Structure 1
């Protein structure tokens, strides 16, 4: 081997660490800069660059009064489109937009001060676009042999994602803000046996050891690692052997006084049996996390112990962020923008939204009682109350609310109101029935005398018989109202066919006025056990309602058939019209007393009386309707035991 070959192999390539930036520094034309060629650089600069490149956190070294910029591989994403042109350039010429905020920091460090910043905001251009970024930063002075400051070592962690996330979900009264607090970055050097060979003052303050104790070479990372964390540390050492890097990872560290602190570690192999590890004290963050978790557990326990619905809304209420329905309403874990249609009854949506807008406008509590669509698809009632949550600027950042199920109370109130209405109706009907009973008897006597008159035409006699039958029906109704008549207890064989025909005859005038077509066909005469007058009243009510629903020239189809069922034979009577139909949202109300779709023309009692009569005859009545063209109309089906 020649002497030249031997000397070239013994040469050491600097920087000693690997990576893109080490190679960039190694190949950069430094002769064109104020620093000059690398072989003229002071040892302090070489060592500082080696330290900076060995840091796994984003780090920079700014050398000299012009702040000539060096940075490591982890810092490349933060440089953006300025990489690699920013290398070797004055920092503030590459990033002039940060001059105002950074210059005072640099001057303080240049005066020998160590600075630690948490969630520091910088406005700068990284990828040709101005943007706001936040960082946790440590600025440390780099000293020359004479103690003067010759550079600034900066180590930082970008916290933009954390800061933005905390801004978005800040709810100060129910959540604790998770803050990562760092006093400074500790630096520790140890060899592959785990023995600590050096550390900076920050790390020594963290763990409570003196520099003299470190110099005894009796302290290892195992000395400061609790037993339950040894295995995790051993795994990081195995990773170091494979990749040359440690972490980032978290663990508890044991201080000299026996107490424990949580720390975040990252490091790398510096070569020559030397490992550097950077430590950040994250104890406060861990305590905050534990407190937040405890608070969230208490909140969940409160929700579990409560029967109320809990919900969170965006400031403008356009988005439901969360809802725990407690089996009353359907849960939603993901943001829901169609919550108004999903949860609020269609008829109540307008005034619910109007009440919300008033609450937003005045920044006051929202509270309202309204109908909701329950988890099982039925309609319920709720009392909902929400309070606004504010940021420090007094702006609403969220609404937090609870809603109680008051469906049972509302049903009880409605039943009481219906009972009171029926009681009032009963007193009114009894009074009217009492007053008209005597005139009805007089009219019956007059019809009887007219019917027995000699020479009466047959057609007139038939009309008088029909009038007499209707007067008897009216008399039956009045006597029922007064409680004097008990025909309902003794039903008799009644022809459904004849009752339907007589109902059509009674309403013939209205049928002709409407130009309605009545399609009435029965194969056989069908009979049931019933009170004839009451059943005629049912048929007349249904036929009259069908005529009211028709446009001119419409059709009503009437059918009656005898069928066999599992509980015995029954009779099915259908009234089918081609009218306007009944909206779905009101179909469940049509048999309620006093509910009418006819405005001031209806009393709201016809279908209620109809259902009472059908129920008394142990039958049932059902309705189906369609309001969408081209086919509209309604069909009522009555079934009675044969």
Structure 2
């Protein structure tokens, strides 16, 4: 135990028993400059109160004499911060000069013999070198001297800053939620949240900026500012102008807290930029997703400021709620837009399906009205065929989009020369180009342009781009396909001088169902699926596709980049397994389909091609018929009642004489899994309804001989 004792001759001894920083300071303090004088000369009542105070763990201080000289215990030393130990024995108004204008009336009351009590009183103190907002609960009480006069005052105090700040944060959260709840506009959400934070913290400015991390730039979208602060809304600049330390912290997802931009290492080299816009202290909250800095919410102070835990918590709360509300608003907008586009698509789909149905219906009615000569039958058949092919194309596009978007398309990657792909694509679109009298120019490199890809899908990509150009280019217009290679890619551009792409459509031209404004005649037709398929298929090949247009009436240009394939290895030709030489054309064919109209029409088609055809609509009857007629070809629907086409095929294969029959599955299901299932069941071919008649006839013709 340390004992401080000073006992001059004839004077009372002052003793302060115990240990601790304040007792040590009492022992070493030079009291010559203190209004109190040496402790050995202090009055007994003062020594008694000091000992009571020193032995308490509760923060306490007393101010004694006309000068209110300050004495305190270890608990209060923590509240003093950097003011301890110099404050020991000094005048109260000197020690707490920054708050004396607030506490002086309270001290005067105490020295007049009146006690007081204050709860959670907010004070801005300088105890760590910078202004700091803090809250205290305390009571001032007078201390009587031996003659009955008031010798000083006594204070028990507790700092309640953390408790008060927690209440403030909770109140701010409720306030912010109430303000944001009815708002749906992202810009209004940002504005209201920024204002709420700014007014609560008393800063000069709160701003929301969007960040392009790849380009290293930012753009201030909205800001709220106090009356005297200038707005920064609309300002853009490089991220580097914020300071290297600031940018690194934000990219790492850390909150940036700078009390003074002129002295903080985070803003080293960038302080002048902050001072130009009257900013000397900042708090910046980052929004980072997928390792990319997307946005920031920032508070600006025009003077150096020690940011409190509460202010930082409120800034984070505002940022999180703002981003959550903005994302929710964007999601609602996207849902509304998706719903609008869905309705638009359904309207387009209905229109596109009704168009071919009209001539098909008219052809059917015409055939019922009166006998027709051969020429009229031929014309009617051509009309029906064209319209069915158009409807089939629409359905195929829908299925393709469905498969691609669900990741169910398998790309068979083999070395391909894109020059051959271009040739095949041009052959497919040539009839449309010729019909519209377009001038098509091909610019191909002299050397091979090799990529690793699926030939059919690559042809589909270029066909869609060329069809798109032809569809939206007036008759007699110009279309150009240019190909070249660079260090890593093969680059293909398809350009035209057609109607162009409006600026507002360009950002979503590759989205599903995206089209320019529809006209009542829908002269271009289509469902807006082609470019979405192009983007997906190019992506599956590891490439990219972009579009450019100077606007309506100024044509468009689509650029496809695909990774080059080098060196070109020797590719073995895939083995083919022919069924035999083509023999006679008179085959026995059994058609099984529970749709009587479909079965009848398919049978008539095959009979017209010189084949002997029998039709059944149910599996049991088909098994009996097959045992009797021994067909060399069986064309089976899959969705049959009682027994589906897969099981029918298995049982047909087990019948005597049917092991070598040609089995063809005809179905409305065209997924790769459906094709594999058909082959596993014993089918030789899998065809999707409506049947491609020329292809079916070629498959049948490949039989080496008709069964006896």
Band of TM-score, shorter chain:
0.3 to 0.5
Higher strand share: 1
TM-score, normalization: structure 2?
A: 0.37
TM-score, normalization: structure 1?
A: 0.40
